[in-house]
Each structure stands twice: as structure tokens, then as C-alpha cells.
A = this chain, B = another copy of it.
Amino acid sequence: MGLTKSEIFTNEQNRLASLFKVLGHPARVAILQYIINQKACICNDLVDELGLAQATISQHLKELKNMGIIQGTIEGKSVCYCIDEKLWKQIQAEFNVFFNQEVKVNSCCP
């Protein structure tokens, strides 16, 4: 046990869940907000900005990269991160499809 039974769910359910999951940590929310709001491309600044160790930040960045939400470009000895705006908008759209499902009226609901 302790292992999610992905095989019993639909691809859509697994996809949605993994998108939600990667956003389900305050450090990753903070990292995204920071990258979105900086004009310049930040990288190591995240370590100073958030109060987490460099290894920890790097790990969170990796998860965001794995989902394709951010991209990292090497610039000399540092790395510049930015949002993949296309995917960003697409995720929003996928979430809205989920939320916009018409909720059927149930007798027991107030």
C-alpha cells in the first residue's frame, strides 16, 4: 500500500490529478508567482527569496519542469526560468473544463 492505484482511473483523471498535485505545495506556488512577477529571469534568487535550501528549491523546480510548466535556459553560469505560457493557459483551460461541469441537482442538497 501507500501506492496510488493509477490504473483504475481514466487518463483524464490521472492527468488532472497530477496537474493539481504539482501545484499542491506552497513552495511551488510561491516559485511560480515569483517567476511570473519578475521581469528579469531569476534563478538563484529564489533561494534568497524563499527560506528554503538550494537543494530543496532545485527539487521543486525539477517537478515543475517535469510537468512542463516552466522551462530553464542556461545563461552562463546561471539558469533562467520562465513560464511556458502556452501550457499555463492550457492547464487553466483544463481546470475550467473540470469546474464547469454542470452540477446536477440532488434532492438531499440544501
A4: which of B25, B82, B106 is its contact (CB, 8 Å)? B25
Size of interface on A: residues with Cβ below 8 Å to B: 58
Q: Is the CB of A106 within 8 A of B39?
A: yes
Quote the shortest CB–CB distance from A94 to chain B (angstroms): 11
Contacts of A38 in B (CB 8 A): 104, 106
What mask results when residues 40 to 51 of chain A are scored 1 for a CB within 8 Å of chain B, else 0?
Answer: 110000000011
Q: Which of A1-22 contact B (CB under 8 A)?
A: 4-6, 8-10, 13-14, 16-18, 20-22
- Give me 23 A-to-B residue pairs in the complex whose CB atoms sit less than 8 angstroms apart, sorted by A's number: A5-B27, A5-B51, A5-B52, A9-B26, A16-B29, A17-B25, A17-B26, A17-B29, A20-B23, A20-B29, A21-B21, A21-B25, A33-B101, A41-B106, A80-B107, A83-B109, A85-B103, A88-B99, A88-B103, A91-B99, A92-B96, A92-B100, A95-B99
